[in-house]
Amino acid sequence: MYFPYLRGRQNELLCLRELVDKELLSRHIIPIIEPVRYSSTLFSTIKKFIMANKDIIIIRNPSVGNYNNDISGMNDKINSQESDTKKKQILKEFEENQRLLDDPHVINGYICDQIVINECLKKNISVENIVLINTDFSNLNSYEDNGDLLNAKYTIIPKDEDFHDVVQGNVIVLEDSFKKAKRNQDYLDNIDELFSKAHMTYSKRGYKGYSDYSIVGEGYDESGFAPVAVAIHILYFDEKKYLRVHHFVSDTIKNDYNTPKKFGEAMKNLIEWEHFNSIPKTYGFSCLLKYYEKGKFPGLGLTKKYCIMHHLELIGKYFGDVE
């Protein structure tokens, strides 16, 4: 099983929704969403998974973004409406969204901290029905002392044998496989590198599945700006079936604010790549090619969306249930 860990940004949600809609998301993939906004896109994506009888993990205590503040401000938003009709409409949508979150296909995930651990130990949270997410080693002592009481549906841990030894049940290994550069032009220092072997090794090492942050990386940043260079990150399997990432960087590396031109340069480098013909032309990959062939720029958000789609489709092909 593969558990891609994605923040609930607009294009990451649309990526998942589109893959489900086109029946391109493998049954071996259960996405983890850490929502950053209480948005219609989030709930339309959840609804799409439910309708397709697919599971999705939604983190109920996100550590980044404005989701918690959006929820806290919902009552103020409802009460501030002067129109009773508008007030009833917002309340109805809120209640419908809560029902979606209660659906059996939606698995509650919790970023594990001492508060969550205490709630589990007090049995205020039904630990057997949730996913406990440990992104670091701070909870190791709690598992050493109470491992049998923290046996969740899935427990996600960093790659560490000591941690693995004390966690019971279905353990998922989490790695940040994407080496994010400070600047896009810095990818030129290492344009092709190993991304992961976890799809080949997780079972041998006693894990029930593996997780990573795709080509986004663990770090979260809400700021947006015109990049000095454009980089397109394409994953592929080498002859050993290792998953590698190649970074296609624009030739122009300066602040001329002509991002569409830089996108075209990066795509030209992709098409001229020696392995281009051997890369599976997934739906996500093909969407990038169509924009380039038409001389259009999809925007940086859609570019990242299609690269993530390509990654998830590749894993589906590896598991054998996506053509």
- Greatest CA span in the chain, whole angstroms? 64
Nearest CA-CA partner of 292 in 249, 254, 262, 319: 262
The residue whose two tokens read 């894990």 is 207
Task: Give the residue among 110, 6, 118, 1 at the shortest CA–CA distance from 60.
Answer: 110
- The strand pairing partners of 214, in sequence order, are none
Cα separation, 319 vs 136, whole angstroms = 28
The arithmetic mean of pLDDT across residues 155-174, rounded, is 92
Please report the pLDDT score of residue 94 as a whole number: 87
For residue 224, is pLDDT > 90?
A: no
Query: If you average pLDDT over residues 249-271, what whole number do you get?
Result: 92
pLDDT mean over 123-134: 93
What is the spatial order of strands in the sheet that 56-59 belongs to?
5-7, 32-34, 56-59, 106-111, 131-133, 154-158, 171-174, 209-211
For 90-108, what is each residue's pLDDT tens digit?
888 888 999 999 999 999 9
DSSP line for 40-85: HHHHHHHHHHHHTT--EEEESS-SSSSHHHHHHTHHHHHHT-S-HH
**Residues 248, 303: Cα–Cα separation, whole Å:** 12
- Residue 310 pLDDT more than 70? yes
The mean of the pLDDT values for the chain is: 92
Q: Which residues contact 294 (CB under 8 A, 6 or more apart)?
A: none
Q: Is 233 helix (H, G, I), strand (E, B) or coil?
A: strand
| pLDDT bracket for residue 57 (50, 70, 90) | very high
CB 216 within 8 A of CB 304: yes
Token pair listed for 191: 């344009």
Res 221 pLDDT > 90: no
Which of 257 and 8 is assigned the larger pLDDT?
8
**pTM above threshold 0.85:** yes
pLDDT of 322 = 72
Report the half-sphere exposure of 33 (CA within 13 A, side-chain side): 30
pLDDT above 90: residue 236 = yes
